[in-house]
């Protein structure tokens, strides 16, 4: 049986505290913990040698001093790249972490919202994620501390079939994804429907709640965006600035 979903407004640190530190790095994750966010949000992909690495883009160019596709690097090669200087010189030497390293940092301290990126590039990534979760005992203490999401509904379904006890979410960004009819289909397998901010309306929130599901919109980058979301009774807020949500 899946865990009950917490009723409080959850603060989800997008790629860590990405407004203050380079996204998807240990510095960003540690800062989110210090800011007392409820969850980290992070992105996973597979390296050439089958390791789960935490990075958003399918290429390393934007967030490191490297060039090329993630899947063409081994984890050892990715670890040699500087993933911090692009953000600020004081973060020089920050590395792309493995998911295992993030689990070691976060277990028992903060929940983790894991996005499976571009799963069509990485056959078997859902099974690999399940194995990592088991190996680190991430569900032993609090099963609700892990949520897995993707824009790819097939990936969400595959993961849920492997680990049905874990809460899962579908990311959406198009208006056709949040019609009443489409939401009826989505909530058959998803516990969360997490939309971009432009899709958030009272009607959407009310429909999600009427269907017994939850929603955590993304991505808040302005303090002014917070009060309207709270007024709409969202279940959580995904933000680059965890301290914006009081």
Nearest partner of 218 among 236, 238, 202, judged by Cα = 238
Among the listed residues 12, 15, 51, 56, the single catalytic one is: 56
Among the listed residues 11, 12, 13, 14, the single catalytic one is: 14
Q: How is residue 100 written in tokens?
A: 């295992």
How far is 242 from 18, CA to CA, in rounded Å? 9
Nearest partner of 126 among 75, 160, 170, 172, judged by Cα = 160
**Token pair 């194995």 in the structure block, residue:** 131
How many CA atoms lie less than 13 Å away from 236 in the CB half-sphere? 29
Annotated catalytic, 56? yes
Active-site positions read 14, 56
């Amino acid at each position: 049986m899946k865990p009950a979903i917490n009723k409080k407004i959850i603060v989800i640190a997008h790629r860590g505290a990405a407004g203050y530190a380079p996204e998807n790095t240990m510095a960003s994750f540690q800062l989110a913990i210090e800011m007392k966010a409820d969850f980290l949000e992070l992105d996973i992909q597979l390296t050439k040698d089958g390791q789960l690495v935490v990075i958003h883009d399918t290429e390393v160019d934007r967030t490191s001093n490297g060039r090329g596709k993630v899947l063409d690097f081994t984890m050892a090669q990715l670890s040699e790249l500087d993933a911090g200087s692009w953000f600020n010189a004081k973060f020089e030497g920050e590395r792309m972490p493995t998911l295992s390293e993030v689990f070691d940092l976060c277990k028992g301290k903060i929940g983790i919202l894991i996005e499976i990126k571009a799963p069509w590039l990485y056959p078997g990534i859902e099974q690999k994620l399940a194995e990592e979760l088991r190996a680190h005992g991430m569900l032993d203490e609090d099963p609700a501390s892990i949520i897995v999401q993707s824009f790819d509904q097939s990936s969400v379904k595959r993961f849920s079939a492997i680990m049905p006890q874990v809460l899962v979410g579908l990311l959406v960004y198009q208006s056709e994804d949040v019609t009443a009819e489409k939401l009826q289909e989505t909530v058959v397998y998803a516990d969360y429907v997490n939309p971009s901010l432009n899709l958030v309306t009272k009607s959407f929130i009310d429909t999600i709640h009427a269907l017994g599901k939850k929603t955590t919109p993304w991505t808040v980058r302005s303090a002014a965006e917070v009060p309207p979301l709270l007024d709409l009774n969202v279940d959580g807020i995904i933000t680059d600035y965890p301290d914006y949500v009081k």
